[in-house]
Chains A and B, each alone.
Chain A
């Protein structure tokens, strides 16, 4: 079992991810072409004369077949050119960069809190299995998977921003803001996001550790007289870490998506709000670009989860 095999496996995963991303870009592009109406029509409106439409179509290159437009779009993106927004004629890439940073900042804050908390609570649930803590945790998990994000979000605003006035109700951030101020602004949205993903992450951690604790080698370790701490350190933890890493990565991917609704609730200037605004304006180039970025982040995190699982679990290094 040399390092070369592992490297080869990782290279395969990355290649697969890139391929998937390409396929997803086709899907996103195709998804916006299902209707006969086109971009020229939506710029000029229903009342446009056929001549004006024709001129604009020629200018935007809309008369070319779909696959040529797709490749033009794709190569533009690969060179960092996301196109221009229809609604205000601004460059999409420059409008997005600050918002992407904001979104990642918010998601990172939520992740820093939720990941350790979820693992800790998951382990607690295993330690006191079927006890009160375990029951409380699974009750909380049931509630939290059924609560819509906006219920949690507006409840937080009503209690902590309006009644107690600890935090601002809308999480506006701007460039000149200091780090601490920025942190204070994202406390509420980050808590909302944490509550949304916490339950799922916790439940999966619990399941992963329980699964390992019930395997035969743990029983063997117990029977040969190892102490519980040593069993967990030597036998349970190394085997549970791969599924836990997997769960954490999947939830980080979910965080990046869950951010869309949360950003709208807290009026946070991130990518999600930008996406929603432009979907209602039917600004197709922006929607395509932002949709592709979200999909790319999601696919990358899933890929990292795969790779981490391979690194953490030697058994996965031998494909069937």
Chain B
């Protein structure tokens, strides 16, 4: 498989995604200034010293964006990981075990999904302490409902296949069936969903932080940076748009990669699996 065969959209997506990841991982070495260090005037325009200008209290905006990438991606990755682990294990179990467990879990998921995620998130965050752990837990658990539905639907189809029957007949337990028979065969639809859930987590986290209910100062993710700089907009200062554009760029590039992966895996199977 050569690079030339990757469609141009997916290639751009891959490069940008990789760039954001490098930014997040190597933030302290890449950033021109220290995180939270006040280095200039308030809302200074873009210049050679400050490529993206400075923010509402005179911190270098590029530095903040680089450290913000770290916070945003870190929380979004952990929340996505939690929602996938929780959602897929429960979804597979529901499909394999069936009976009352399936009924109760599925009705509970229906119930959770009948409330808009943002609204229920706000309700729960009104009583929970504002820490990163809370954010990851709330985002991960609320999002796992969608993963649950997908993995249950996929697993129900796999569960009636002959090789699962064969495993049961040779006496394998439920755990074996879930992890050794169902999981490997359900991976490809789940992986293409992974990208979409990650984007959703980034957007959800940014919305919460923008509303002042996500990451708390002095730490800032990109959504929080939009909030910090939003008062400049009415004076014609676009500093708030830069972190907002970073969110959009990350979401679009992951989307492009996810689309490509989806098309590749489905064309291998000769149709949308």
Contact = CB atoms under 8 A, between A and B. Distances in A.
Interface of A: 20, 23-24, 27-28, 31-35, 37, 142-143, 145-151, 154-155, 157-158, 161-163, 169-170, 253-254, 257, 260-261, 264-265, 275-276, 278-280, 282-284, 287-288, 291, 294-295, 298-299, 302
B115 A27 contact: yes
Contacts of A24: 111, 114-115
A211 to B, nearest CB: 14
Contact of B230 (A32, A142, A154, A254): A154
Given A295-B115, A302-B114, A288 B210 contact: no
B174 to A, nearest CB: 29
B146 to A, nearest CB: 15
A57 B123 CA distance: 22
A28 to B, nearest CB: 6
Contact of B248 (A151, A278, A295): A151
B212 to A, nearest CB: 6
Interface in B230-273: 230, 233-236, 238, 240-241, 244-245, 247-248, 251-252, 255-256
Given A34-B128, A261-B210, A264-B211, A162 B123 contact: no
Interface in B96-118: 111-112, 114-116, 118
Interface in B120-145: 120, 122-128
Given A146-B255, A287-B122, A280 B213 contact: yes
Interface string B210-230: 111100000000010010001
B178 interface: no
Contacts of A291: 115, 119-120, 122-123
Given A275-B122, A291-B119, A150 B127 contact: no
Contacts of A161: 234
B122 A148 contact: no
A163 B245 contact: no
Contacts of B248: 143, 146-148, 151
Given A35-B128, A294-B116, A150 B210 contact: yes
A35 B248 CA distance: 35
22 contacts: A20-B111, A31-B127, A32-B123, A32-B127, A34-B127, A142-B256, A146-B199, A148-B248, A151-B244, A151-B245, A154-B230, A158-B233, A162-B233, A162-B236, A257-B116, A257-B119, A260-B122, A279-B213, A287-B126, A295-B116, A299-B114, A302-B114
